Amino acid sequence: MIDYGSVVYDSARPSYLKRLDYVHHQALRLCLGAFRTSPIPSLYAEAFEPSLSSRRDKLSLSYYFRILLNDNHPLRGTLLNGNNNRLYNARPSCIPHVGLRMSNILPDTFHGVKVHTNEFCGHPPWMENSISYINSFGNFTKSDSNNSVLISLFNQHRQFYQSYQPVFTDSSLNHVACAFFTNGSHHQL
């Protein structure tokens, strides 16, 4: 729960963040049954938990790169704009924005890395696509039709489209998923 919103409160003063560290250390001591005199690094090692500052850095970096991946994100220009860096370097009391904090966290080798933006598809995958298909059986229902009529209609359809590759589906009626089989290979979506 301490991670929730950590990207936002990561810019708080170190004295405020130390209060959260104290709560985190107390929780680790309670969970592990450790004494008050147990060193903090031992608590982290015993609980297999990173420090809160490491977790905040990880989540902030994830957020930083997620912003850089999207060309239309409103904060992208602010992160890439280095005009205010001199102000923050001259006044250490000013809290730097997330872009400057991340550039201080990242090693020097990552500063020139170009992040390729994601190209999202035009529509969500769960929305119905407009696929054109031939449905000779659209006017027939299985319960109201004779089997011999359906079989002869299928044979006539296969005869007419014999040069096409047949594709057999699982006859899914919902829009959640589908599966199909064609010429020795099968696919699931």
Looking at residue 111, what is its pLDDT?
Answer: 66
Indicate the Cα dihedral angle 54, 58, 59, 65, nearest 10°. 150
Looking at residue 79, what is its pLDDT?
Answer: 75
Is the Cβ–Cβ distance between 109 and 115 less than 8 Å?
no
Residues in the chain, total? 189
Residue 98, helix vs strand vs coil: helix
Residue 79, helix vs strand vs coil: helix
Looking at residue 47, what is its pLDDT?
Answer: 92
Longest Cα–Cα distance of the chain, Å, equals: 87
Looking at residue 29, what is its pLDDT?
Answer: 94
The full set of domain ranges for the chain reads 6-110, 133-161
Neighbours of 76 (CB within 10 A): 17
Looking at residue 40, what is its pLDDT?
Answer: 92
Mean pLDDT split into 10-residue runs, the chain, 189 residues: 79 88 92 92 92 89 84 80 75 79 77 68 63 75 82 88 77 64 63
For the whole model, what pTM was predicted?
0.57
Neighbours of 68 (CB within 10 A): 20
Looking at residue 172, what is its pLDDT?
Answer: 58
Looking at residue 170, what is its pLDDT?
Answer: 67
